Structure 1
Amino acid sequence: MRDLLLDVFHGALNATRADSLTAPHLPGTAPDFILSVGKAGAGMLGAALTRFPGVPALLVVPDGAAGGPWLAGVEVREAGHPAPDERSVAAARRALEVFRSLGPDARVLALLSGGGSALLCAPRGVTLAQKVDVSGELMRAGADIAALNVVRRALSDVKGGRLAAATRAQVETLILSDVVGDDPAVIASGPTVPGRTTPADALAVLDRFGVAAPEVRAALNQPVNGTPPVRPAGPVRMIGGNRDLLAAAAQQLAARGVTPVILGDTFTGEARELASFHAALCRSVMQHGLPWAAPVALVSGGEATVTVRGAGRGGRNTEFALALGLALEDGGVHALSAGSDGVDGTSGGAGALLTPHTLHRARAAGLDARAALDANDSGSLFAALGDLIPARPSGQNLNDLRIILVGGGRGMNG
């Protein structure tokens, strides 16, 4: 079962490579400049430069995520992720410089993917440290990416459409989504998508999650952080997302004789609560054959959140897997929960594997699974059991993938 789950996960990733998702949607004529930002930036740019060799390009990616024979002549900027750093600021300033230099007859192709919010960072009215601190507080308080980016946009010279507003050129944007709902204003905080939220909305987010941040609040009340100018947007197209990843996983399962059921790609909320819902479905399948008869593979996506109360190592996927195991009490399922980008929070891995014997093995090893969950230390527990999926940047970011195998059957007895 372990090998089957890992094979399906890696097969789904291979079937949804950034270059293969980008190539069919490229414009018919070469642009004058290409900007590619995000965890999938290298693959997206690779597809574009294969079609349009020699076009000047700026690539902004996390450390170690740039690669490919087409990089010759490309300006590559590696920058901080998940927290922005001074390199992120330099990359944003460089993008602004290029955009401002282009005339009205120029055409820009912007390729955006998840992770761009940190990689392209131009603090507006606050210092970089203040922006990093408020983002960290919001994440620890359980804020989802949409809420987080409301604040990020209000404190940026590039987000919320401000990058596109800095140029007279025509801008076309292709986006790979890593967020529930595929809102183009949320992915990478929408540097080429006019903002729809205001500093007042950002203040409301801080209030909702109980974040004080007095310096940030003061900045949000200043005219410098007013609503960004609304520039008529050029074409903005969503070219791939979590649904593609789930469909690829379902195809991989079916090819191995396993019946897949896609539950959906819009799951959000606390990882523990999401695990409770999935556990209830599993029990219904096992006990009553409803709403599907076993054997079956339940496939779901979306993005959970974690309210951090402990000091352990974990991520939303390892927390989901451990909470699922506890809810089922070693109830006879095998499961995988992992991030398509290959990194899951501070867990040290991409996600985790759950077996019908995880809790028993933990007890035998002297580990307290409930205490690990309470301490947000799910990553440490799965690492000790050898069930942490190794962290390996995948060059893409299509949100999370969860697969739960319920019952036996052909292909499911490994």
Structure 2
Amino acid sequence: MRQQLIESFYHALNSTHPARLTEPHLPQEAPALIIAVGKAAMGMLEAARQRFPQVPFIAVPKAEEGQTWPSLPNGRILPAGHPVPDERSVEAGGAILQAVAGLKPEELLLVLVSGGGSALIEAPWGVGLSTLQALNQALLRSGADIQEMNAVRKHLSALKGGRLAAATPARIQALYLSDVPGDDLSVVASGPTVPDPSTFADALSVLDKYGLDFPEVRAHLQRGLGGELPESPKPGDPLFGRVENRLVGSNLSLLRAAQRYWQQQGYRAVILSDRFQGEARELARFHAALVESIRQHKTPFEPPVVLLSGGEASVTVRGQGRGGRNQEFAGWLGYYLREREIWALAADSDGIDGNTEAAGAILTPQTWQRARHLGLDFRGYLENNDAHGLFTALGDLFITGATAHNLNDYRALVVEQSPA
């Protein structure tokens, strides 16, 4: 079963390779420039370069330690920092702004966007980079969801929230791989070519909600709220008459591919939702309750069944440990189910869960007993936000390395027949 869980993850990734999802949606007309941004930038670019090998491009993937990129003709590859923007992010953002500003109204700009772009390209507006970095760190630890984080980011950037579209006179075709629940393109990579419904007031509300001070940031947002600074382009703005934004892949694509895998293995596989959000421990509590209901009452599904779900949980960090939302989910699921047998995998499709080298973790029917045998304080690890330490001790981290993919989270729970 461990091998099947792992195979299901890779089958889903391979079936939804960024190049495969991008290729059918490429324009017939050759663009004047290709911009590819995000964790899946190189896969999306692969499809575009096969169609348009002579077109110049700028690609901004996530920088990985030890990663080298091939020298490709006609283009620049500018790896940058994630999840917190760095100097390379600013360099990449500046290069993109300069390149798109030089296009002509009759020319076509092809923009390929995937999750992670919020950090990978940056053009700080109203605040310095160091302040922006500290704010991003605070938002990541606060428990804020992606919509809230990006409402703030979009009002501190000359690229986000449709501002990239405003920075060029060219026509734009933008293809998006979504890593956000609900597939709101204005949230994916902070929607550089998409109308932005959020406001300066929304950004300030997020800071208030999570008790984030940042006087320099607040001063900038207050200026915007007072009308001294221009708002991001909104729905209905005429500039979007020359922009086509298109969703080409999503978390649901990933889950449907996994569902096909499990059906081929002879299991009934149910997609619960691709839109789960909220605290990882509460999401685990919900899944644990569902497992109990299936095992004891055969409702709402009869076992054996594989429960598939996606979305993006959050973690309010109060402890000193390491981890990520998927390891946290797996840990709390194990805690709530205790000795009740379950096989489960929770992993991030980009291969990096939180601040660790793991994609996620695997839960086995022996997890609780092995933890007790090893003398591990199961709940203590979790209360310290140290799911990584827990699964390291158990030998059940799921490590893939960066996948150059990004369709949000993958959770698979295998609920077998209840013991007689």
TM range (shorter): over 0.9
**Residues 99 and 15 of structure 1, relative CA distance in 2, 3 Å threshold:** same
Superposition pairs for residues 10-409 of structure 1, below 5 Å? 10-64=10-64, 71-223=72-224, 225-229=229-233, 230=237, 231-233=239-241, 234-407=243-416
User: For residue 412 of structure 1, what is the aligned residue in structure 2?
Assistant: none
Secondary structure at 1:23 match in 2: helix
Query: Distance between the aligned counterparts of 2:37 and 2:377, measured in 1?
Result: 41
Give the secondary-structure state (helix, strand or coil) at the position aligned to 2:59. strand
Change (3 A) 1:361 1:314: same
Q: Is the 8 A contact 2:161 2:186 kept in 1?
A: yes
Shift of 1:17: 0.4
Spell out, residue by residue over 1:180-218, the C-alpha distance to the aligned partner (whole angstroms, 9 max, x if none): 011111001011112221211100111111111111101
Specify whether residues 69 and 216 from structure 1 end up closer, same or farther in structure 2 by C-alpha distance, changes over 3 A only: closer
Moved more, 179-188 or 64-73: 64-73
Structure 2: tracts of 5 or more residues without a match: none
Q: Is the CA contact (8 Å cut-off) linking 1:107 and 1:170 kept in structure 2?
A: yes
Distance (Å, rounded) in 1 between the aligned partners of 2:30 and 2:78: 23
- Give how far 1:254 is off: 1.0
- Partners of 2:187 and 2:164 lie apart in 1 by 14
- Between the aligned partners of 2:147 and 2:75, the Cα distance in structure 1 is 31
Query: How far did 1:67 drift?
Result: 7.7
TM-score (normalised: structure 1): 0.96
Q: How many residues align?
A: 409
SS at match of 1:153: helix
Question: Any conservation in 1 of the 2:81–2:89 contact (CA below 8 Å)?
Answer: yes
Indicate the SS of the match to 2:240.
Answer: coil
CA contact (8 A) 1:340 1:394 kept: yes
CA distance in 2, matches of 1:35, 1:186: 18
Alpha-carbon distance in structure 2 between the residues aligned to 1:220 and 1:392: 38
CA distance in 2, matches of 1:86, 1:232: 30
Aligned partner of residue 196 in structure 2, secondary structure: coil
Give 1:69 deviation, angstroms. Answer: 7.1
Distance in 2 (CA, whole Å) between partners of 1:71 and 1:174 is 22
In 2, are the aligned partners of 1:314 and 1:379 still within 8 Å (CA)? yes
TM-score, length-normalised on structure 2? Answer: 0.95
Asked if 1:9 is matched to 2:9, the reply is: yes
CA distance in 2, matches of 1:315, 1:194: 31
How far apart, CA to CA, are the structure 1 residues paired with 2:68 and 2:172? 25
Shift, 1:139, TM fit? 1.8
Distance 2:70 2:267 in 1: 38
- Contact preservation (8 Å) 1:296, 1:405: yes
What is the one-letter code of the residue matched to 2:244?
P
SS at match of 2:36: strand
Q: Distance in 2 between matches of 1:225 and 1:202?
A: 14
Alpha carbon RMSD of aligned pairs, Å?
Answer: 1.6
Unaligned runs of 5+ in 1: 410-414
Preserved contact between residue 342 and residue 394 of structure 1 (Cα < 8 Å): yes
Does the 8 A contact of 1:36 with 1:60 survive in 2?
yes
CA distance in 2 between partners of 1:183 and 1:386 (Å): 37
Name the SS of the counterpart of 1:280 in structure 2.
helix
In structure 2, what is the Cα distance between the partners aligned to 1:304 and 1:110? 28
Report how far residue 30 of structure 1 moved.
1.0
| Structure 1 range deviating more: 134-143 or 392-401 | 134-143
Whole-Å separation in 1 of the counterparts to 2:113 and 2:198: 20
Using the TM superposition, give the Cα deviation of residue 73 of structure 1 relative to its aligned residue in structure 2, in angstroms.
Answer: 2.9
The CA distance in 1 between the partners of 2:275 and 2:371, in whole Å, is 32
Contact kept in structure 1, 2:319 and 2:386, CA below 8 Å? yes
